[in-house]
Amino acid sequence: MTRFKGFLLAACMTVICPGLQALDIDNGMVLHDEHCTRCHQPDIYTREKRMVNSFSELQEQVRQCELMAELAWFDDEVEDVTAYLNESYYRFNIEK
């Protein structure tokens, strides 16, 4: 019964406090390299007049690309790719 209570607590915390989940930048890199590089080369992220100018815009752009590519990612996968791109290229302050 103790294992079940622990599982139940963990499941509730995931639903109630999704911000407690850690971003997996390594997973974001894998997802990016498997899917995003079909359309994007790294220079799109570093061009002078890029379309994305804030962390929230980056999140939205990753979500839009995920939808257009019909990847059916979970929210945490979108967040992982967003975190990977932010750490690797954009360096935006994370807005809440």
* Residue 53: count of CB within 10 angstroms of its CB: 11
Whole-prediction pTM? 0.74
- Give the count of domains, the chain: 1
**Within-domain flag for 34:** yes
Read off the CATH number of the domain in which 26 is found. Answer: 1.10.760
Contact 82, 62 (CB under 8 A): yes
How close are the terminal C-alpha atoms of the chain, in Å? 38
**Within-domain flag for 15:** no
**Within-domain flag for 30:** yes
**Within-domain flag for 8:** no
Work out the average pLDDT over 80-91.
96
Q: What is the pLDDT of residues 22-58, one digit of tens each?
A: 799 999 999 999 999 999 898 899 898 888 999 999 9
Residue 96: pLDDT band (50, 70, 90) is low
φ/ψ region of 54 (left if φ > 0, alpha if ψ in -120 to 50, else beta) reads beta
**Within-domain flag for 45:** yes
Contact 81, 62 (CB under 8 A): yes
Q: Which of 5-9, 20-24, 38-42, 59-63 has the lowest mean pLDDT?
A: 5-9
Whose CA is closest to 92, among 59, 67, 63, 49? 59
Range of the domain at 35: 22-90
Contact 93, 55 (CB under 8 A): yes
**Within-domain flag for 2:** no
**Within-domain flag for 3:** no
Residue position matching structure tokens 């995920």: 66
Would you state the torsion angle of the CA atoms of residues 38, 43, 48, 54, taken in this order, to the nearest 10 degrees? 60
**Within-domain flag for 35:** yes
